[in-house]
Amino acid sequence: MIHKWKTSSAAMLLFSFALLFTLCGTVFGMAADDPFYDKQAYLQQIHMSEAWDIARENKDTVIAIVDTGVDLKHPDLQPNLVAGANLINPKLPPQDDNGHGTNVAGVIAAVGNNDRGVTGILWKAKIMPIKALEADGSGGEKMLGEGIRYAVDHGAKIVVLSLGLNKYSSYMSDIVRYAEERDVLLVAATGNEGNRVKYPAAYPTVLAVGGVGTDGTVDSRSNTGPEIDVVAPWDVFTTALGGSYENKDGTSMAAPQVAAAAALLWGLHPELKPYQIRQKIRQTAEDVGGRGWNPQTGYGLLRVDRLLKEPMLANMYEPNNRKAQAKTISISKKIAASFSGGTDQEWYAVDADYDGTLNVGLDLDPSLAVNVQHTDASGKLTSTTVQGGQTVPFQVTKGRNYLLLQLSDRNRRAETPYQLTTSFDIYKDPYEDNDKQYKAFVLPSRSQTIKGTFHQYNDVDWFELPIPESGSLGIRVTTDTARIDPVLLVQRRGEKAVTIDQGDDGAEEIYDLPKVFPGSYYIRISNVKDYANPVVGEYTLSIEYNAKLIDPNEPNNHWYQATAVSLDTPYNGLLDTSEDIDWFQFQVGEESLVNISLTDIPSSVTIYMALYDGSLKSIAGSMNSPPSTGQQLTGKFAPGTYYVKLTTGTPFDNQMYQFRVTAQPLLGGYTDIKGHWAQDAILSLSGRQLIDGYGNYTFQPDRPITRAEAAAVLTRAFKLTKQRSIAYSDLDSSHWGYSYIARAAQAGMIDGYPDGTVAPDQPVSRMEMTAMMARSLNMTGKKRGTVPFTDVDESYWGTGLLKQMKAEGWIAGYADGSFRPDQQATRAEFMKLLSQLLKPG
């Protein structure tokens, strides 16, 4: 028998409400019924209502909060708490006696949709409270490390660290590695001092979270820097001690949002590893400080809806197959990406705030090798091969550096995931080795400002300041990072030392001596005792010395009394009366690029500098404009004797100026080709006016040559006059190389790319260089014969030209039998090959 079920009007009304709720949830996103939900505006910033349509809980993943504990009786938290630990007093439960940990817990997992208080990002969860901080919120790295280890050893998969220290330590680094090796995700706040990212957020595998305001801009107090991953809202309304609720702000409140989002994702995809969780959070972040990564906002604002909805990309940095497409990454972080095959090129841009060493580590199959090319901010190219699991150093210069990665096996077809770890070591300052008092670097006896670094373990810097005359002395030490807590020591030889350490992390130290007497004064700059590790940052030592000074070069008031100076040697002097004139004389033995510099001029003084040749004929002159304290004359000088005359209308006797002449011998008009392996080729082509250097008398032979530069050289070399009409999407007639490219294209020496571009400013590869030269010889390539190089095969587009050029003796590969066709060609390589082609006969 078939029964027909009747539906009552009440049941129909309930069904209608349920359908309406479902539709509203689908269109507008799920909302919680907690009374204070309207005060939690930050949840809308990260699009939680849309995310809750997909997931609202994770009861399988334990989230540990290493903090001040949690209010264990808070009715909005209690259902989501699991057993934790009190490391401050192990006999007691991890009850919060500060409030901070309770604030963090509410952001993550205040019970949602329970008609009480606020809602956490996770409505149902497992929160493990670990008390590792005192009631005043203070704590040390040992207790922090024990808290992380306890969480890892007791089943936590996510550890939230809304705390931080300014110093790096090997101990904490080992703890972080311990967690990563056991597939535990660490999420940490960057800090709230408007300075550098704190540790543990600054370690490469910790997810570092900064804070933004309600308008989406970074709060000025949020710490920033190369270690930041993402940002999240700074202001929250959350749980508080005693079962209450309150407004809180800071990166401490931003970090737990990211941790909770990670838990939602892990609940949907428990197979993911921590590095994949980190990468997915970066991938789905919303750009708020420009496209891609930057040191203020990382990869952008946390978007939980995108995190749960969007598919995970094998390589979020694609497309980055060209230098122009290079994706900016941190100089100090670990990321994940993938090679689509052996021909896939991966370009990254890395910004260095200082000169130093960039360490590049690659995690991939140890049987595979990757060719890594580095181009520093000056354009210098270096390259090496890295096996999976290795880390290699590259010398970097301040500014934008580029990395190009490509599998050594160009024939590999399989997708090859890898992890790239970057770390940075700052440069060794020019005053080393001065770690001991007897090695103190002797400073000139004058007011001055210098910069130094702590580039190695237990680095301290000693300086000796000779005081020739009685006077006053002021010493000031500042730093550009809170990771340095400077300590100043001052000692007059034979007397007791004075140590000055009044300020906290990053604060300046000042010591004034109203009266100093002739003798040597020692100055030691160090980082506070607990901060023994190298630091990425600089300190500035400022010395203000006021004394009655005597010009050591007098008498030199006439040209025939001119002080004879040695090149590249500083000379200090005074102009202490309105009639005082200082003459200097120097000699140039061969054609050279000469620089005459005058520095350390008092900020209120103008000095007139006049240059004369050996017959006292005026050549040039200059003057500084206060408050500028320096000036210089630079130019190409023929061999001979020269004179410099200094005068002023504002005499001074309390500060020495510094006069210095440097000379760089010129060869062919360049300072940087003498002794270079391509010297003869460069001189030959330069003498025929086929090539140009740069405005600073350099040729930069090891700099990659661009496609426009190559076209210009070929046009001149082969006297190309005909040009065809060209239409490339990235080249217009205003580009300096337009006519050269048009003529080279007419001659068939250069082609555009299939996408309609010609990439005029992109470096030429060795294969492209070879193809250009071959086409200038009207070569079409050989089909027969064996492939001459080990790293190309018959399927490679340029193999035929390589065969012919090799067979006719125009090219040769490397000692290992490779040609490295996709490696950037340098200006020297291009000139060497071209000079061979242009030789008579």
Active site residues: 67, 100, 252
Half-sphere exposure of residue 756: CA atoms within 13 angstroms, side-chain side: 5
- What are 684-687's contacts with CB under 8 Å, separation 24+? 684/835, 684/838, 685/713, 685/717, 685/831, 685/834, 685/835, 685/838
Q: Is 495 exposed, middle or buried (0-12, 13-18, 19+ CB in 10 A)?
A: exposed
Is the bond preceding residue 433 a cis peptide, omega within 30 degrees? yes
- Per DSSP, 674 falls in state T
Question: Counting runs of H as helices and runs of E as strands, what totals does the chain give?
Answer: 15, 36
- Residue 768's alpha-carbon distances to 382, 406, 697, 729, in angstroms, are 19, 17, 28, 20
CA–CA gap between residue 185 and residue 719 (Å, rounded): 63
Query: Residue 632: helix, strand or coil by DSSP?
Result: strand
Cβ 728 vs Cβ 758: under 8 Å:
yes
Cβ 394 vs Cβ 361: under 8 Å:
no
Which of these, 557, 571, 568, lies nearest to 646 by C-alpha position?
A: 557
Cβ 351 vs Cβ 331: under 8 Å:
yes
Helix (H) or strand (E) holding 77, with range, is: none
Helix (H) or strand (E) holding 23, with range, is: helix 9-28
Cβ 607 vs Cβ 646: under 8 Å:
yes
Compute and round to an integer the Cα radius of gyration of the chain.
34
Cβ contacts of 253 within 8 Å, gap of 6 or more: 103, 104, 107, 162, 211, 233, 234, 235, 236, 238
Per residue in 736-757, is it b (16+ CB within 10 Å) or e — as a string? ebbbbbbbbbbbebbebeeeee
H helical segments located in 35-132: 42-45, 48-51, 100-109
